[in-house]
Structure 1
Amino acid sequence: MNYSQKLLAEHLQKHPEHNQYVSAIDLSKAERAFHATSFSPERRGVLVVVDYAQRCEGFKVQLNQAITTAKANGIVKVCEQHLEEIHKHFQKEIAQLFINYIHAESVCMSSAITGPANFPVERNKKRLASAMNKYDAIAEREKQLYKRAVKMLLPDGDGTVIKSDSASAVQQLEAKLEQLVKEKEMWIAINKMVRKVYPKGQLKAGATQNDIDELIKDLQTSFGLYEDAAINLLKPCRITSKVVAFPSYSLTNRSQEIKRTEQRIKEQKKLEEGRESNQLNDSLDNGIEYELTEDNKIAIHFTTKPSEEVRSILKSNAFKCSRHRNYAWVRKHTLNAQNAFVREVLPVLKDIAA
């Protein structure tokens, strides 16, 4: 066992989860790539292999965290069966990018290692820049693959943003509304408790530190707060110097958010009723067809390329030509999209000559 193998073995002893990845990168090639640029090519070679292993493991951990978050947010549609396949594809792609980087690094030199005599400065600058670009491409591709993976695993999103085309949008919105109402009720109850010691935001006459400590304990036990959170609620306002746990504007903002969520639930239910009614699926006499797709897009299929005037109307109503859908013009289905289609687009489509 040589020095680089020994270093790698020590790392794997501390991080056994990396064992499954390290064979994808040739350690000896990674080591040789740094012979002309580093005083410790063995260590640099090991760092490259470890870097690859950490990215692979980190990718898997991130995806599992995204799935856990989605489930906690009430997302029903989670395609976990694709996780292993996605992870294997990630390993393969990132391994190839690391191999490209190692190859680019192997032709680089450092005058500190090779000596300054007849050193090809300009040529080496280009080679170093190429190697750095190859390394930067790894992180860039990693982001792209993660974004694609999340889209495949969580087609309805992770629940952080509730999409109107999600299969469980109403349930998510109702769960959010319930949480908002509970929080508002808790804020009101906390304010009521704080006012017992701080009436009108000022410490009541005769109150001592013991009263404040007792209030902090009551906040912890009654509302499940951590001590730091309870103490922060009793900090005086910088402007008024009064102690008000949740100012009136916070409660007003929360009330407005509750109203917005209630309104969105009504709109979402109306939207889903429209989808079930099948009113956005028809064929016109001139051969033009329109439909509501499975992924909730309004799609218009033309027999030929539409005229400049028609294309302009479609674009002004947020429709886009999709080459992935056989050049259909599409827009995400929302109430606004449906109204715009029926009011602005459909009459134009009907007027097109066969």
Structure 2
Amino acid sequence: MAQHTNPDLNDTVQPVAMFDADTLTISAGGFSLSLTLKEIERNWDALSHFPDRRARMELGALGERVNAFAAHVAAIVARGGILDAGAEIERFTVRHVQLTRRAWAMESRCMSWFVVGPARFPVDRNRKRQASADNAFRVVSEHAKAARAAVERTAFPHGAPGEPIRASNPDAPALIRAEIEKRQAAHAMMKAANAAIRSAKGKDVDAKVQAVVDATGWREAKARRCVVPPQEWMGAGFPAYQLAGELAEIKRLATRLATIEANRERGTVEHEHNTTAGRLRVVENGDAARIQMFFDGKPEAATRDLMKREGFRWAPSEGAWQRHLNNAGRYSASRVVSALQGEPSA
């Protein structure tokens, strides 16, 4: 009986891999493949007394990984992500199958003396081959993880729903203002609830609950949790540290909003320097919220190490080394320029 290797796959994306009579069938866009146990079990002839069992496990694991990625893409689409789901799944499947078969081939060169016998066993050579095979399987695992992150970045270039607001998001100022307003309203409600509890004299819990309801408009159940918290030691109302924490967060958001707006009003600022690494352009990109450094070509290893030490990372999509645009980023950029011009940094 045919079955999906991942029964939880979202219905919006068809299963990519299926098992049927010891055969794994993979179909993704224009890519299709059929693998049987007999075709691949020879890879473990020298490693296991039961290579067919290992082959079945490997085929099942490959199918699970491919279908798990398809389910991940389906979940992203369901959350409102914008991407070509079919193309992303096909691209991942083709590459992942290649990497997996490469790992199998590398492991086929390994041996176990329990299987082949201990006489004249090439210990050192086998150890090197096993290390190479282990690394190949590590690449397979890392590819699955990296592909998930990459497809999410493609679908949500400015961050997924629920994630922190990115400065590069075109709507960042409006989103931060909305967050500030929400927190200010919450802080006002906390203060109103505390004032209502204090205004209700005596120990009548119901009177305090009603006072909170009248002051905040909350449902009775929520007001009662405020007056009589689950943990008695917490006391009624909102503690001072919670109110102070909310104010601190509002202040932090206001500062961040001011920084983002100032960077955008300033626009793109560019400076050019002659350095030992050649011509260097330093760009303050307010729209992307990044300070970027452009070299004419690929810098030498020492220069790349310097960039990394100063917090810059290579961005292939921009063709630049970049980090967040803030005072720390500007200071790091000045240190890089000074170092490449042979000047002592401040």
Do the structures match in fold with TM over 0.5?
A: yes
The one-letter amino acid of 1:47's match is M
Match of 2:83 among 81, 84, 106: 81
Match of 1:162 among 143, 165, 172: 165
CA drift at 1:302:
8.1
Report the counterpart of residue 69 of structure 2 in structure 1: 59
Higher relative contact order (CA 8 A, sep 6+): 1
Normalised by the size of structure 2, how large is the TM-score? 0.63
Q: Distance in 2 between matches of 1:303 and 1:127?
A: 41
Q: RMSD across aligned C-alpha pairs, in angstroms?
A: 5.4
CA drift at 1:161:
2.5
CA drift at 1:282:
8.5
Please say if residues 300 and 328 of structure 1, whose CA atoms lie closer than 8 Å, have aligned partners that are also in contact: yes
Unaligned runs of 5+ in 2: 18-23, 27-33, 274-278, 342-346
Report the counterpart of residue 255 of structure 1 in structure 2: 247
Please say if residues 73 and 89 of structure 2, whose CA atoms lie closer than 8 Å, have aligned partners that are also in contact: no
Q: Distance in 1 between matches of 2:95 and 2:54?
A: 22
Please say if residues 167 and 289 of structure 2, whose CA atoms lie closer than 8 Å, have aligned partners that are also in contact: no
2:42 pairs with 1:32: yes
- Structure having the higher strand fraction is 2
CA drift at 1:339:
10
Unaligned runs of 5+ in 1: 1-5, 72-77, 306-310, 350-354
Q: Distance in 2 between matches of 1:52 and 1:270?
A: 50
The one-letter amino acid of 2:135's match is N
The one-letter amino acid of 2:64's match is Q
Q: Distance in 2 between matches of 1:300 and 1:126?
A: 41
Report the counterpart of residue 120 of structure 1 in structure 2: 121
Q: Distance in 1 between matches of 2:252 and 2:43?
A: 59
| Overall identity of the aligned pairs, in % | 20
CA drift at 1:65:
4.5
Report the counterpart of residue 50 of structure 1 in structure 2: 60
Q: 1:93 to 1:116 in 2, by over 3 A?
A: same
Q: Deviations over 1:230-256 (max 9, x none)?
A: 89932033xxxx524532101111011
Q: Distance in 2 between matches of 1:299 and 1:16?
A: 41
Q: 1:181 to 1:138 in 2, by over 3 A?
A: same
Report the counterpart of residue 266 of structure 2 in structure 1: 274
Q: 1:176 to 1:117 in 2, by over 3 A?
A: same
Please say if residues 9 and 71 of structure 2, whose CA atoms lie closer than 8 Å, have aligned partners that are also in contact: no
Q: 1:45 to 1:225 in 2, by over 3 A?
A: farther
SS of alignment partner, residue 149 of structure 1: helix
Q: 1:260 to 1:232 in 2, by over 3 A?
A: same
Q: Distance in 1 between matches of 2:84 and 2:173?
A: 26
Please say if residues 292 and 322 of structure 2, whose CA atoms lie closer than 8 Å, have aligned partners that are also in contact: yes
Report the counterpart of residue 92 of structure 1 in structure 2: 94
The one-letter amino acid of 2:182's match is Q
Match of 1:131 among 108, 133, 157: 133
Aligned residues: 308
Q: Deviations over 1:272-329 (max 9, x none)?
A: 2222xx6x36999xx9977665745455778999xxxxx9xx98xx696979699877
Report the counterpart of residue 3 of structure 1 in structure 2: none
Q: Deviations over 1:142-186 (max 9, x none)?
A: 223333333333222236222222211112212322332343345
CA drift at 1:101:
1.9
